[in-house]
Structure 1
Amino acid sequence: MKRTIRTTALTVGALIAALGLQAGPAQADTTAPRIDLRVLVVSDGGPATDAIAAELDSTGTPYTTVDLTSATRQVIDAGFLADTVDGRPRAKFQAVVLPDDNPFAAGSTEMAALASYEQTYAIPQVDAYTYARPQAGLNVPTSGGYSGSIDGVQASVTDAGRAGPFGYLKGAVPFEDNSPSVSESYAYLSTPAPGADFTPYVQAPIPGTGTQGSLIGEYRHDGRRELVVTFVYNQYQEQFRLLSRGIVEWMTGGVHLGASRNYFAVHVDDVFLSDDRWDTQLNCTPGDVDCTNQSGTPNPIRMTAADVDYATAWEQSRHFTLDLVFNGSGSVDQRADDNGVDQLADRLIADRNQFRWVNHTYTHAFLGCEQNTTVVPWTCATNPDGSTRWVSRQTIDDEIAGNRAWAQAAGLPLDNGELVTGEHSGLRILPQQPDDNPDLAPALADSGVRWLASDASRDPGQRQVGPAVTVPRHPMNVFYNAGHAAEEVDEYNWLYTSRAQGGSGLCEDDPATTTCLPAPLDTGTGYQDHIVPLETRIALGHVLSNDPEPHFIHQSNLAEDRIAYPVLNGVLDGCDALFADNTPLVNLRMKDIGAELQRRSAWKSALDAGQVTAYRIGGAVTVQAPNGTDVTATLPTGTTVGTGAFGTAYAGEVSGWTPSAGTALTFTLPSSAAAPAHTAHSGARPTAPAPRTRVPAGLNRQVPAAPKS
């Protein structure tokens, strides 16, 4: 990425010494400072600094927090910010994040220390959310600008932003407008102050003027560089998720530990089986263990050969691969009932290489405790001594092996290290079964299973189960028991409306459920008008959060009305519209997702334990981590490690994992990636404290409640 180097009338030798530029081989200049790859986050407890910290957590980028609201916090002074190591000056932080352009009292020695530190080591500063004013390089909003809500506004990345830190975006930055009763985004829109060296990167129209106002821009003054952000946000909002990568890119100059991608994978469960159908009169699903009234006429949902043709054509048009999570007994039963005919299986097997395949056990049996279904909700059956009666190890072995044997006979390309049990059974399910089936781990060892799916809404976070590690999956509120949009809406209404409105009362019992409805949806339009946009936004939020965990739906959702596709298209279309070609979706299979999560966990543990050392001197980055812990970093294109190229291309840079043997790894940056430049500073005092900025109510996370799937 091209960068502009700003210089003053220093001699060439002095400039090289001041900036840590290379005068030949990497680290040849012994006077170049060491810049530790760590960010300083000075927090006031507001949502903006918390959001940036959450982004750093997500990417695996180390940072130190100073909490301004704590009476016992660290005092920021010269010794806290810098020192000397082995005779070389060391800057302990590669970037500084402040709540605003100056959160300290007038005449603060801490702000003076920060300003001097930034000037000396060319350390950039992010003003997480600040008032537009001349001290931040902008006119005040009352001088032809605007202050107020920008809910639903379409912002855009400027040419400078696309050529710089936001080059991974196509240009559009839509601001959410999810509730007409809540101010979700408040901003100060303004133009650069007269004479200010200010470059807008992201801007939006100033109402009634025909002029664009800055939302994010770079202000250069007094030998310092600030990224000035003039809108408030939280870590869950789409606009922040779109821009967070660029904020980190700007503050680190594209050289930092950690990495992120836009991940999206979709598992389709119960393939070859039929799924029970929601009964709109009984408000339950006959055949389900929790349906007290089993008088409904069975009317199962099963894909057809035409649905397979649609799925393969859809995959090819979207350049996306679905993971089919299958139960072989479904085809065996179908052939037994139809004189050996199963057109669905024939078509899927013929097109088997169009999909990825995952073992879902042979019959979809429940593999936890033996269920007592004579009561609702069901309970675990017990032995005479009161102990839990568990499904046996042999049964689990047979379910895994039987499906493998069927897949082998059908010629399905299967990875035997992956497993999804029926309803994620065998794993703990609260409240009925608080513990894993003790026979599950030995059975996984019998079968060589390394990656076991879990339900992220019930069992979040990766954990060990015998020889296997769980891979949490996000459930979509596209229900397993709905083949038609009207059925989906009817069940949605039942779940998320009040008892007085004919609903289940779930929201009355648990008001924190954010999918609650003020009134029932129209069964004819509610799916497309309400459920699809909401589910798209939730799934897209996972994609934009560097979250590789897969989503799961069911084969029923690819049948009949094919209700899954509007949501999937919404996610894919959203990414296509927002991101440049250099930032594609990453569509991994289950074992690769599991490995990514496992590496992240080890990396986080090493960071938390203080076992990672990383710094830059001129054109060389040195990282040392514990033996066996893979190192993750994002670096400029052309970076090498040892004798080979580092990483894979993504979002205009290269990033990835490199194994560590416990000794120092040296990454050599390309000659184009010069150390950050700065002007000779005048020694000017820091500006006056920023006025208090407005943070509107309602900036809270939305967490959907997921029904049983």
Structure 2
Amino acid sequence: MHTRRFKHRIVLPFFCALALCLNPTSLLAASVVDLKVLVISTGTADEDQGLDLIDDLLDEVGVRYDVLDSSREILTAAQLHEGAHGFYNGIILTDAMLYFTGEGNYLNSGFTLEEWQILHTYERDFSVREAVISGFPASGPYYKNTYDLDYGMDIFSIEAGSRFNGIWQAPAGGTELFEYVNTANALPITDYAVAASPASDGLGPVVQPLLTDESTGKVLVSRLTYDDGREVLYSSITNAWYLVHSQILNYEFLNFATQGVFIGARKVYLAAHVDDLFLTSALWNPDTHMTDEEPGYRNTAEDIQNLVIEQQNLLASHPTLRTFKLDMVFNGGGAVVDQNLVSDADTWIRESRARSNYGQKPYGFFEKQSNSSERMLVHFPVKTAPTPANQALLKLQGPYSWVSRSGQVCRATAEWVEDEATWERAKLSDAWAAKGATYDKTSCVEFRLRSG
């Protein structure tokens, strides 16, 4: 059994003045229990998403708890109590039947009938509640005889799906159950869940619906009360840390199981993370119904200023939000602007054909000969690039691997048009100041293309 322990054990006597006083029919009327929760799982947190959900909450709140892995460990009465001293004041099951799939096991319970009976006897004798995070509503004679389980549902009424709209039912939202939830709003269930109607045979527990499916009225979350005094909060909804509905339901599993008495404190925060401040995001294409990675969109200085203004307007309109702030997450991604610009225009010009334009050609030449020269014109959109884009990458490749070439790259000082530039003219309306293009000779950089 995995355990989370504080240095000192804390014991709470069960006096009848307390909300947690024992049922008068309990066998151990003078019992005491530790303020500690037992979580019974179907595996490790990596294997059991219910455990992965609830242990986060218990750690955040500061609750003392143990974990018993039903797929690997055997439950005994000695693990639950010693005489009239109970070790736990709340039980949380990650799955209603503790189903697991493992070597030599296919969808069987992690508990035997004897283990289930040991657990239920402890809950009855020490008036300890149980909360079930998720699972199949095992009900009826078969499950009662095989596992001592009956969640009070008509299994022939079951409907399964992943799109339920949950409607809260009183007493949810009152002073005891889900009191922290605005039950006037529906709770969309966005993962697999099972809805069922309570059984009408009167043989199982009394079912008090707390959350029902809007379209059918069938139960998703309920409070169960058994003839022997046991109480269970039962959810047939898949719950995991990444599901919004789970973040709503999660706290009540702890609150109900412990009857609101536990070591720790729950604090709720609202934080809106804008992640990441500088990253480029893909844009939704309404024509293709897909996201386009290129060119994408990246925050501008104006966007950040507008964000500040809108947040100030929000706070001014809603004084209760005066401490609300957007968390502008920054991990460095996108902070350094890519300096490698892609050319948006290129052509080549020939002295021997001084009035010809080659702007539509997919290639170009540069060479100086005794009777004729050729030059390449390449333009980079430096002005439209994000600051501080002051560099451009020009990749040159020779026509043959065994030929070496050398030359210069210089900055042009006159504007030119790709489909109009010739040896004589920068564009149809403007001639070069000097034929063969006007450029700054002091800016020239020597280069050499080596063979191979």
| TM-score, length-scaled by structure 1 | 0.34
Aligned to 1:126: 131
2:184 matches 1:169: no
SS at match of 1:221: coil
Q: Closer, same or farther in 2 for the Cα pair 1:313/1:79, shift >3 Å?
A: same
Shift of 1:252: 0.8
Q: Closer, same or farther in 2 for the Cα pair 1:315/1:21, shift >3 Å?
A: same
Give, as a single letter, the amino acid of the residue that structure 2 aligns with 1:59: V
Aligned to 1:338: none
Q: How do 1:201-600 residues align onto structure 2 when only pairs under 5 Å count?
A: 201-205=210-214, 207=216, 211-265=217-271, 283=295, 300-301=301-302, 310-318=310-318, 319-321=320-322
CA deviation digits over 1:27-63, x for unaligned, max 9? xxxx843321211111113433443333323322221
For the Cα contact (< 8 Å) 1:277–1:300, is it kept in 2? no
For the Cα contact (< 8 Å) 1:190–1:214, is it kept in 2? no
Shift of 1:242: 0.6
Superposition RMSD on alpha carbons, in Å?
4.5
Distance 1:206 1:266 in 2: 33
Q: Where do 5+ consecutive residues of structure 2 fail to align?
A: 1-12, 22-28, 99-108, 141-148, 284-292, 342-452
Instruction: Give the alignment partner of residue 189 of structure 1, picking from 193, 196, 209.
Output: 196
Distance 1:374 1:206 in 2: 57
Instruction: Give the alignment partner of residue 122 of structure 2, picking from 98, 117, 124.
Output: 117
CA deviation digits over 1:514-558, x for unaligned, max 9? xxxxxxxxxxxxxxxxxxxxxxxxxxxxxxxxxxxxxxxxxxxxx
Distance 1:149 1:279 in 2: 32
% identity of equivalent residues = 17
CA deviation digits over 1:637-696, x for unaligned, max 9? xxxxxxxxxxxxxxxxxxxxxxxxxxxxxxxxxxxxxxxxxxxxxxxxxxxxxxxxxxxx
Distance 2:80 2:60 in 1: 25
2:56 matches 1:54: yes
Distance 1:20 1:279 in 2: 62
2:58 matches 1:41: no
For the Cα contact (< 8 Å) 1:81–1:92, is it kept in 2? yes
Aligned to 1:146: 158
Shift of 1:76: 1.6
For the Cα contact (< 8 Å) 1:206–1:213, is it kept in 2? no
Give, as a single letter, the amino acid of the residue that structure 1 aligns with 2:312: T
For the Cα contact (< 8 Å) 2:94–2:133, is it kept in 1? yes
Q: Closer, same or farther in 2 for the Cα pair 1:128/1:375, shift >3 Å?
A: same
Aligned to 2:289: none
SS at match of 1:175: strand
Distance 1:159 1:120 in 2: 29
Which shifted more, 160-169 or 247-256? Answer: 160-169
Shift of 1:243: 0.9
Q: Closer, same or farther in 2 for the Cα pair 1:105/1:277, shift >3 Å?
A: closer
SS at match of 2:153: coil
CA deviation digits over 1:7-29, x for unaligned, max 9? xxxxxxxxxxx953249xx9xxx
SS at match of 2:155: coil
Shift of 1:254: 0.8
SS at match of 1:256: coil
Shift of 1:168: 1.2
Instruction: Give the alignment partner of residue 94 of structure 1, picking from 82, 85, 89.
Output: 89
Shift of 1:266: 5.3
Q: Closer, same or farther in 2 for the Cα pair 1:309/1:221, shift >3 Å?
A: same
CA deviation digits over 1:456-487, x for unaligned, max 9? xxxxxxxxxxxxxxxxxxxxxxxxxxxxxxxx
Give, as a single letter, the amino acid of the residue that structure 2 aligns with 1:136: D
Aligned to 1:20: 15
For the Cα contact (< 8 Å) 2:131–2:254, is it kept in 1? no
Q: Where do 5+ consecutive residues of structure 1 fail to align?
A: 1-17, 178-183, 289-298, 326-355, 377-709
Q: Closer, same or farther in 2 for the Cα pair 1:176/1:140, shift >3 Å?
A: closer
Q: Closer, same or farther in 2 for the Cα pair 1:94/1:279, shift >3 Å?
A: closer
Q: Closer, same or farther in 2 for the Cα pair 1:311/1:97, shift >3 Å?
A: closer
Q: Closer, same or farther in 2 for the Cα pair 1:232/1:219, shift >3 Å?
A: farther
Shift of 1:214: 4.2
Q: Closer, same or farther in 2 for the Cα pair 1:283/1:191, shift >3 Å?
A: same
| TM-score, length-scaled by structure 2 | 0.51
Aligned to 1:198: 207
Distance 1:223 1:268 in 2: 49
Distance 1:194 1:52 in 2: 34
Distance 1:200 1:118 in 2: 22
Give, as a single letter, the amino acid of the residue that structure 1 aligns with 2:135: T
CA deviation digits over 1:185-227, x for unaligned, max 9? 22132224433422122222464xxx44343322323231122
Which one has a bigger Cα radius of gyration? 2
Q: Closer, same or farther in 2 for the Cα pair 1:255/1:373, shift >3 Å?
A: same
Structure (1/2) with the larger strand percentage: 2
2:89 matches 1:77: no
Distance 1:119 1:108 in 2: 16
Aligned to 2:393: none
Shift of 1:93: 1.0
Distance 1:277 1:137 in 2: 50
Distance 2:282 2:200 in 1: 64
Q: How do 1:656-675 residues align onto structure 2 when only pairs under 5 Å count?
A: none
Distance 1:127 1:267 in 2: 32
Give, as a single letter, the amino acid of the residue that structure 2 aligns with 1:166: F
Shift of 1:251: 0.6
For the Cα contact (< 8 Å) 2:167–2:213, is it kept in 1? yes
Give, as a single letter, the amino acid of the residue that structure 2 aligns with 1:39: V
Shift of 1:81: 0.7
Q: Closer, same or farther in 2 for the Cα pair 1:303/1:239, shift >3 Å?
A: closer
Distance 1:131 1:279 in 2: 41
Q: Closer, same or farther in 2 for the Cα pair 1:375/1:60, shift >3 Å?
A: farther
Distance 1:373 1:59 in 2: 45
Shift of 1:258: 2.5
